[in-house]
Every structure is written in structure tokens, then in C-alpha cells.
Structure 1
């Protein structure tokens, strides 16, 4: 196949971008952003792209920086978010990597917990009609294929604790400080 040709079937575009919380792997399909992954070292990316391509049944390509088509807007919006000038992502999202209760919870989170605010696991469970399902909400946060964009960092323990985070608790602290929920570290 000539490398200038576009894939004929479903395709996935991916790239790695720097951020305040380390390199992020971004992947998108024609339907929208499908994956954001923390700690995107070259080794980790190598381990992730194959299974992602297989799961989506897609051809993958990594465009040269600045030549992104599907990822141009996600890259721009993430840069604006980390610069403190974007408070709400306005991106098409491809939800295929999430389903059932997890997808329901993540969509509610995206819809109802704005920048600079937090919600407890139990409160989010109640919002989706499942009071008492706080642990299941925690599992949904851990399975979030679109962290930062779908802001699972805004979900905290009902008693005021910060809770866990797939990108690491320090990453969660940085994101909450960026949004003004926590004070910025002194050093």
C-alpha cells in the first residue's frame, strides 16, 4: 500500500502529546476521540496500539506532528485546557470502549460535573439511579477510556478524600489544582 493513501476500512489515528501530567496517547476514529492514555512512554504505546487496533477492527496510522486530521482538534483543546483557557471539551467522542453501566456513569459525569467542581462516588451513583453503587462508580472511573476529557479526576470520596486515579493520585492532584479545586503545590 502506498503510504500516502488513506486506509480503505475503519481507521484509527494516534499520536503522543506532551502535557503538564506527562505524555498522553491520543487516539481517534472518524466517530471521535476514542482513547486517552496516561504515561505514554514508547514502550507503553507499543503495548497499547496493537490491542486497540484489534478491538476496534481498524487500521492505524500515526501522522507527522501538525498533520493530524482526526486529532487536530483534540490536540488543540488539550493544549488549551492545560494552558488554563479551556474549561469544557467540545469534541465528538467514540464511546465504543465503554458500555453498560460504565458508559452511563461516564456520560453523566461528562454532562453534569463542570470544570472546577467535584462529585462524590456515591452522589454520582445516585445521579444515575443506582444509590449504593459507589464502588461500581469507582470501577467505571477506573475503566474510563477518555480521562481528562471525560473528567474522572473530578470524582472524589464522599468523606472528602481524594480517592484513587488511574493516572496516579499525584496526577489527579495536579488536574484538580489546575481547575482550582486544590491549591497548587508550593514546590
Structure 2
């Protein structure tokens, strides 16, 4: 199986926030990819596969909600879990809007590094398990095709050998009948 690291996309228009996220998430199990805007995040998503996206809500241009909506609107990226990271108020309408736009979770700034890392670790673990299952599924499909090919070859071999045996049996029967005739005529 491919040993490439799972990628985690961090999206925030403020470099200091990306540095803080990086410090909290630095880990050998996954590769961090940084985007400074919703537009840049969308470009990365077109070119890469991500285990999880940490997405700032308030950004110039495409905000986090709009970016999430576009991510979830594409078949190839709709499955990627999005965790919104925001300093916005904890008002229900903002949280509701985030969930309606595809969030699986919300983390409020300032965040607890341990909690953030634990949440990301869970999504990376799930992603890696899914990749492992896909690999195993593909391997089984290949093995099934190989077994079917071998079965068909075996069936053909059995048919060929059966024909040979029938021909040999017929020849043996003819020979035995000749021998019987010769033996019978020799006795008379």
C-alpha cells in the first residue's frame, strides 16, 4: 500500500494563525498544506486529496462558509470533513450556518491545542483506514480476476483432457475389439 502521508489543509488569511495551527498539529503522521484564502484552498483541493480541512470562517474574498459550500458541492471533494476554526461569536446562527455548509465540527479561537490535535488525528486515522480498505478492496478485486482467469484455464484444461481421454478410450475400445476378434479367430 502507498505509504504517502495523509494531507491536512489549513486555510486562514492570517499567517500568524497558520503558524499557530502548524505548531499545534506538527506530526509525522500527516503533511500540512497551507492556504491563505478560500480561492487558494479550492485550487489545492483540485490537485490533492485531503484527510481533513481546517477552515477559517472570516476571510476576505470567499469566506469559510462560501468555500465550504463549494467544496461540498463538488463530487470529488464532498466527502472531506471540514472543521471550522473561528473567532466569531458562538451564536447559534453562526454555528448553524457552518453546519449547513458542511462542517463536521467547530473550534473557537483561542483553541485548546490538545483538543484540536485529537480531532485532526481522528479524521486522519479514519482517512487512512478508508485508504487501507480501498487498497484491500482493489487487491481482492485483482485476485478475484486472477482466480477467474485461472478457473477458466482449468476448465479448458479439463475439457481438453476429457476429450483426450474419450479419444484414448475409443481407441482402446477399438483395439480391444480387434484383439477379441483376433483371439476368437485364433481359437477356432
The answer, yes or no, to whether TM exceeds 0.5 is no
Higher radius of gyration, 1 or 2 = 2
Q: Which has the higher helix share?
A: 2
Q: TM-score range by the shorter chain?
A: under 0.3
